[in-house]
Structure 1
C-alpha cells in the first residue's frame, strides 16, 4: 500500500478534521477552524500543514512551525497525527520526517511535540530521538448532568460578569489579560502574546471562539479574569484558556468566570465539556476537580535536538 505525504490544501480540511477527531477525541476542531489556522499563521511562524494519503485516502495530518514568540531562537513544534485505524504502516514516520526537514531548513535547533500517553505512541517518539519533559492532563465533564454550583446570590463588591461579545468594538483589554495570563502558564518554551494583530487573527477571529459563552470578570470596570469558550456546533465545548491577571489572583474570579461559562454553555445546548492543564498547574487542576471534571487522557511533551 502506498503512502504519500503532501502539503495541505483547503479541500483537505474535512478529512483532516476527521483524522484529528479519531486520534484525539478530547479536542475540538472544525474545517473552518483548521482553515483559520492556515490563514492566521503569521509569516514568522513559517507554518506548514501536511496530510498523508494511504491509497488515496487521507489518514494522517501534521503541522510544524517555529515558536517565533520565544525569546530564544531556534525553538519549533511539530504535530503528526494518524488515524488509529491506519497506524503501523509508516504514516506517522513519513509525516514527522517531512515536518522535521521543513524545520531543519529553517534553522530550528529544538523541536517539541505532544505525544499521547500510550505505549505505541511513546515508543514511536522514543525511537525517533525524542525525550519526555512534562505532562498535560485532559479532563472531561458530562455537562448535561453535571452538578454545577449555583450562581452566587450577589457578586463581590466591584465585580461584574460580562461576555467577550461585549468587547466586540475593542477587544484589546482581553488581549492584555490573555497576554499576562499566558506568560505565567507552565511551559517548556516561555513566550508571550506580544503582537495584537496576530492575536486578533489567531485567537479573536478563531471560528471556534464562542464570544457569547466566553465569560469575563471585571473588577471596577477593568478585566480581571476570563474563561474563553470554544464550541464546534455539535454539542462539544472546550475551555480554551482560563486566566486571571496577577493583581486579582486568589479571589476566586477564574472559578466564577469558568462556572458561569459552563452554565451558559449548557443552556445553549452543549452536552460535554473538555479542558486541559499542565500537570504543574495546581490551581486550575483544583478548580476543575471542584467543578466535576474527570481525567480522560494524558499527553506527554517531548523534545528532540536537530542537527
Structure 2
C-alpha cells in the first residue's frame, strides 16, 4: 500500500471511475470533477491524496477542503472513496487517517462528509469514526415525457397577470456585464436562503463567474422572473456530461414575492425547455425539511430517489489538543 499526493496530470480518470463505481446513480465526468476542484477561492484549503496497491494501481482517494458556500476557517469537508472491489482491505482507514493528519496544521474543529442512503459499508465506516447524521438531502427525478403540462393550465398566465415577466438569462443579456452583476447579486440572496448546516458566505464575483466556463452552462435554461427591472425569482438547469439528463441548479424566489405562483411558473418553463431539448430526466435535490420546494416538485411529478445523507464530527478539545 502506498499513499501519495494527487497528480492532476494523470489521476483524474482513475478517481472519476472510483467515484462513479461507488455512486452509480450519480455519475460525474472528468470535466465536472475538474470544475468542482476549481470552483473555490484560492485562499480556501483543498487537498487530495490517492492510495495505490503494491502494483501501483490507484485504488482510492481522500480529500479535504473548506466549504466555499459556508466558509469557516476550522471547519472542513472530508471525503474518502475506495474502489468497491478494493474495500475492506484497509485502504479507507489509511486514507482517512492521512486526510486528518494533513489537516493538523489547520487545527480543525468540525468535519463534515456525506454518502448516499443505503450505502451500508460507508455508513458503518463513518459511524465507527465518530460521525453522526446531520442534514440530509432528498434526490428527486422527473421523467420529462411523462409530464402532463395540461394539469397546470393557467399557472403561468396568473403570474404574468401580476405584472411579472418570465425571461431567460440569454434573452436578458448573458454577455452584458451589468446583467451578469445583477444576476450574481440575486443568486447570492437566493443561496443565503437555502438550508445549510452553517451560515452562507457569498462567493466573490470572479469565483462565481467561473460557472460560465462549465460545459453544462446553459444561458437559455436560466429562467428568471422580473418585477419591473428587479429580479425576483430564478430556476436554473445545467447540462450533464455523464448522461443526457438535466440538473436543477437552484430555484428560489425573493421573500417579498413568495406564495404568488412564481416558482411553479419558472419550473414549468424549465420543463418545457427540457421537453424541447429531448432530455429524458430532470434531477433536483432539496434539504429534506424544505417542504415548500418539495411540495412543488411532488406536484409536478418528481419521484424521490435514494438521497444524500450528511454527517458531522465535532472534534473534542482533547482531540484538538492532541492534533496540535
Structure-1-length-normalised TM-score = 0.88
> Aligned equivalents of 2:161 and 2:47: distance in 1?
47
Q: What is the correspondence of 1:268-307 to structure 2 with a 5 Å cutoff? A: 268-306=277-315, 307=320
- Superposition deviation, residue 275 in structure 1: 0.9
Unaligned 5+ segments in structure 2 are none
Distance 2:184 2:245 in 1: 25
Counterpart Cα distance in 2 of 1:62 and 1:7 = 9
Structure 1 residue matching 2:10: 3-state secondary structure? helix
- Residue 112 (structure 1) shift: 0.7
Contact 1:27–1:274 (8 Å) recurs in 2? no
Give yes or no for contact 1:49–1:64 (8 Å, CA) kept in 2: yes
Pairwise CA distance, 1:271: 1.2
Question: RMSD of the TM alignment (CA)?
Answer: 2.5
Flag the structure with larger Rg.
Answer: 2
Contact 1:229 1:261 in 2 (8 A): yes
Checking the alignment, whether the CA contact within 8 Å between 1:65 and 1:103 is kept in structure 2 is: no
Q: Distance in 2 between matches of 1:49 and 1:207?
A: 23
The residue that corresponds to 2:275 in the other structure is 266
| Mean Cα deviation higher: 212-221 or 57-66 | 57-66
Q: Which deviates more, 211-220 or 67-76?
A: 67-76
**1:68–1:275 distance in 2 versus 1, CA, 3 Å:** closer
Shift of 1:93: 2.7
Would you say the 8 A contact 2:130–2:313 is kept in 1? yes
Structure 2 CA distance, aligned partners of 1:39 and 1:72?
Answer: 19
Structure 2 residue aligned with 1:168: 175
Change (3 A) 1:183 1:148: same
Asked if the contact 2:61–2:82 (Cα under 8 Å) also holds between the matched residues in 1, the reply is yes
Structure 1 214/302 Cα, relative in aligned 2: closer, same or farther at 3 Å? Answer: same
Q: Find the residue that maps to 2:26 and give its secondary structure.
A: coil
Q: Is the 8 A contact 1:147 1:292 kept in 2?
A: no
Q: Is the 8 A contact 2:68 2:201 kept in 1?
A: no
- Structure 1 or 2: more helix by fraction: 2
- Displacement of 1:63: 3.2
Q: 1:89 to 1:214 in 2, by over 3 A?
A: farther
Correspondence for 1:88: 88
Query: What number of residue pairs does the alignment pair up?
Result: 305
Cα distance change on mapping 1:43 and 1:240 into 2, 3 Å:
same
Q: Secondary structure at the match of 1:297?
A: strand
Please say if 1:30 is aligned against 2:36. no
For the residues of structure 2 that align with 1:92 and 1:211, how far apart are their CA atoms?
A: 40
Change (3 A) 1:238 1:86: farther
1:1-307 map, 5 Å: 2=1, 4=3, 6-27=5-26, 29-54=28-53, 55-67=55-67, 70=70, 72-118=72-118, 119-148=120-149, 152=154, 154=157, 155-165=160-170, 166-170=173-177, 171-201=180-210, 203-233=211-241, 234-306=243-315, 307=320
Judged with a 3 Å threshold, the aligned counterparts in structure 2 of structure 1 residues 19 and 227 are, in CA distance, closer, same or farther, namely farther
